[in-house]
Amino acid sequence: MAEKTPHQNVTFPLHNGGVSTPAEVTDTGHGYLATPPSGSGPAVIVIQEWWGLTDHIKEVADRLAVQGFVALAPDLYGGWITHDGDEAGEMMSKLPAEEGARQLAAATDYLLGHEAVTSKTVGAIGFCMGGGFVLALAAQQGEKISAAVPFYGVGQGIPDSYAGVRAAVQGHYAEHDQGYPVEQARAQEQQIREESGAEVEYFYYDAGHAFHNDENLIGTYDPDAARLAWDRAVDFLRKKVA
């Protein structure tokens, strides 16, 4: 059953219309912020799966912090999480693409203004629903996002056009994904390349959807694929976020 969690240790202002200017502060966003042992580093947004801001997503942020990044995982559901697939689908359906984009735009500005952030751009990594929103964020925020790393992105966040993408894109997709067939992923890879002119590389794994999630909620966690994809993603973020 869905439950509310206290994983909201930072707040940032949300603005009416997201990227519109002048922007009027209308409410507050929440998220989990992990900083590196050094106290500063380049910025990365970690975007949740349809389950919510779970311990797994917090751990992803923590792992990035260990690698030297300032990692912010915005709480797109306002504190609600679930481990039930039907509830997760319902929660995702209640998050309009525009609202997700608004929160992520505000999270980007929050990181760029944070005293611990040393980069002039932000990287973004996301999983499942969050993978779709990674691409939406890159398309919306242009030069602010220098690296976009979607893992098996699905959902309402996937944009129709990638013309606004200026980030380098590294995708991680599964050959046996029942939710986002590999043919669609390959078509998406080509569409991004053609419409944006950005650097694009997609990797395809002999695995199923959510192969990176070690909570293994749908029984498709693949430790070998997860390790390889993670190493590639961290190396990519190191090179591209500055």
For residues 163 and 41, what is the distance between their CA atoms, to the nearest angstrom? 29
Cβ neighbors of 190 (< 8 A, separation 6 or more) are none
CB 179 within 8 A of CB 96: no
pLDDT tier for residue 16 given thresholds of 50, 70 and 90? low
pLDDT tier for residue 15 given thresholds of 50, 70 and 90? confident
Q: Write down the pLDDT at residue 26.
A: 58
- Strand ordering across the sheet containing 25-34: 10-15, 25-34, 70-74, 41-47, 117-127, 145-151, 168-174, 200-205
Task: Give me the domains of the chain, ranges plus CATH numbers.
Answer: 3-240 (3.40.50.1820)
- Residue 28: CB atoms within 10 A of its CB come to 11
pLDDT over threshold 60, residue 18: no
pLDDT over threshold 90, residue 7: no
pLDDT over threshold 90, residue 235: yes
Residue-wise pLDDT tens digits, 59-107 = 999 999 999 999 999 999 999 999 999 999 999 999 999 999 999 999 9
Residue-wise pLDDT tens digits, 148-159 = 999 999 999 999
pLDDT tier for residue 211 given thresholds of 50, 70 and 90? very high
Residue-wise pLDDT tens digits, 37-69 = 999 999 999 999 999 999 999 999 999 999 999
* % of the chain at pLDDT higher than 70: 92
CB 203 within 8 A of CB 192: no
pTM (2 d.p.):
0.93
Q: Where are the beta strands (DSSP E) in the chain?
A: 3-4, 10-15, 25-34, 41-47, 70-74, 80-81, 117-127, 145-151, 168-174, 200-205
Q: Write down the pLDDT at residue 220.
A: 97
Q: Write down the pLDDT at residue 22.
A: 43
pLDDT over threshold 90, residue 164: yes
User: 200-231: string of b/e by CB count within 10 Å (b at 16+)?
Assistant: bebebbebbbbbbbeeebeebbbeebbeebbe
pLDDT tier for residue 20 given thresholds of 50, 70 and 90? very low
- Computed over every residue of the chain, the mean pLDDT equals 92
